[in-house]
Structure 1
Amino acid sequence: MKARSDELQVFVSVIESGSISAAAEQMNQTPSAISRTLSRLENKLDTTLINRTTRRMDLTEEGKFFLERARQILAQMEDLEERLSLRQQTPSGRLRINAAFPFVLHSIVPYVAEFRALYPEIQLELNSNDVIIDLLEQSTDVAIRIGDLADSTLHARSLGTSPLNILASPEYLKKHGTPRTVDDLNGHALLGFTQTETLNHWPLRHADGEQFLIRPTVAASSGETLRHLALAGEGIVCLSHFMTHEDIRQGRLEVVLPDANNGYRQPIHAVYYRNSQLALRIQCFLDFIQQKLLRYAA
Structure 2
Amino acid sequence: MGRAGPESDMNADRYGEILVFTRVVACGGLSAAARALSLSPSAVSKRISRLEKRLNVRLLNRSSRSLRLTAEGEAFYAGAARSLDTLDEAENALKSLSNSPRGLLRIFGPPAFGYLQLAPLVPEFLALYPDLRLEFQLHNEIVDPVEAGVDLAIRMGPQRDSSLVARKIGGSRWIICAAPSYLRRHGTPQTPTDLLSHNCMSFSVRTHRVHWSFKENGHTVRVPVRGNAISNQGEMLRQLALNGVGILRISEFVVAADTAAGRLVPVLADYVEKEEEEPIYAVFHHQRHMSPRIRVFLDFVQKKLAEQRRHN
TM interval, shorter chain, is 0.5 to 0.7
Q: Relative to structure 1, is the Cα distance of residues 28 and 147 closer, same or farther in structure 2, using a 3 angstrom cutoff?
A: closer
- 1:97 is aligned to 2:107: yes
User: What residue is the counterpart of 2:255 in the other structure?
Assistant: 244
Deviation (angstroms), 1:152 = 0.6
8 Å Cα contact 2:98/2:292 also seen in 1: no
8 Å Cα contact 1:192/1:199 also seen in 2: no
> Which one-letter code corresponds to 1:196 in the other structure?
R
Deviation (angstroms), 1:172 = 1.5
Q: Find the aligned partners of 1:271 and 1:281 in 2 and give their Cα distance.
A: 14
Deviation (angstroms), 1:126 = 0.3
Deviation (angstroms), 1:199 = 10
Q: Relative to structure 1, is the Cα distance of residues 250 and 101 closer, same or farther in structure 2, using a 3 angstrom cutoff?
A: same
TM-score, length basis structure 1: 0.68
> Which one-letter code corresponds to 1:25 in the other structure?
A
8 Å Cα contact 2:196/2:224 also seen in 1: no
- 1:27 is aligned to 2:36: yes
Identical amino acids, percent of aligned pairs: 36
> Which one-letter code corresponds to 1:161 in the other structure?
G
| Aligned positions of 1:27-66 closer than 5 A | 27-28=36-37
8 Å Cα contact 2:213/2:220 also seen in 1: no
SS at 2:146's partner residue?
coil
Q: Find the aligned partners of 2:210 and 2:105 in 1 and give their Cα distance.
A: 34
- 1:296 is aligned to 2:306: no
In the alignment, structure 1 segments of 5+ residues that lack a partner are 1-20, 33-81
| Aligned positions of 1:56-205 closer than 5 A | 89-193=99-203, 195-197=205-207, 200-205=210-215
Q: Find the aligned partners of 2:177 and 2:118 in 1 and give their Cα distance.
A: 23
Q: Relative to structure 1, is the Cα distance of residues 141 and 187 closer, same or farther in structure 2, using a 3 angstrom cutoff?
A: same
Q: Find the aligned partners of 2:183 and 2:131 in 1 and give their Cα distance.
A: 48
Q: Find the aligned partners of 1:98 and 1:266 in 2 and give their Cα distance.
A: 18
User: What residue is the counterpart of 1:62 in the other structure?
Assistant: none
Deviation (angstroms), 1:193 = 3.8
Deviation (angstroms), 1:28 = 3.7
Larger Rg: 2
User: What residue is the counterpart of 1:261 in the other structure?
Assistant: 272
TM-score, length basis structure 2: 0.65
1:4-37 deviations in Å (ceiling 9; x for gaps): xxxxxxxxxxxxxxxxx999627346969xxxxx
Q: Find the aligned partners of 2:305 and 2:210 in 1 and give their Cα distance.
A: 24
Deviation (angstroms), 1:213 = 2.8
Greater mean alpha carbon deviation, residues 169-178 or residues 179-188: 169-178
Q: Relative to structure 1, is the Cα distance of residues 296 and 217 closer, same or farther in structure 2, using a 3 angstrom cutoff?
A: farther
Deviation (angstroms), 1:87 = 9.1
- 1:272 is aligned to 2:281: no
> Which one-letter code corresponds to 1:259 in the other structure?
D
User: What residue is the counterpart of 2:19 in the other structure?
Assistant: none
1:58-107 deviations in Å (ceiling 9; x for gaps): xxxxxxxxxxxxxxxxxxxxxxxx9xx67972111100001011111111
Q: Find the aligned partners of 1:242 and 1:26 in 2 and give their Cα distance.
A: 61
8 Å Cα contact 2:166/2:283 also seen in 1: yes
Q: Relative to structure 1, is the Cα distance of residues 203 and 262 closer, same or farther in structure 2, using a 3 angstrom cutoff?
A: farther
User: What residue is the counterpart of 1:73 in the other structure?
Assistant: none
Q: Relative to structure 1, is the Cα distance of residues 266 and 23 closer, same or farther in structure 2, using a 3 angstrom cutoff?
A: farther
In the alignment, structure 2 segments of 5+ residues that lack a partner are 1-29, 42-91
Q: Relative to structure 1, is the Cα distance of residues 199 and 87 closer, same or farther in structure 2, using a 3 angstrom cutoff?
A: farther
Deviation (angstroms), 1:245 = 1.6
Q: Relative to structure 1, is the Cα distance of residues 25 and 129 closer, same or farther in structure 2, using a 3 angstrom cutoff?
A: same
Q: Relative to structure 1, is the Cα distance of residues 215 and 28 closer, same or farther in structure 2, using a 3 angstrom cutoff?
A: same
Deviation (angstroms), 1:206 = 4.8
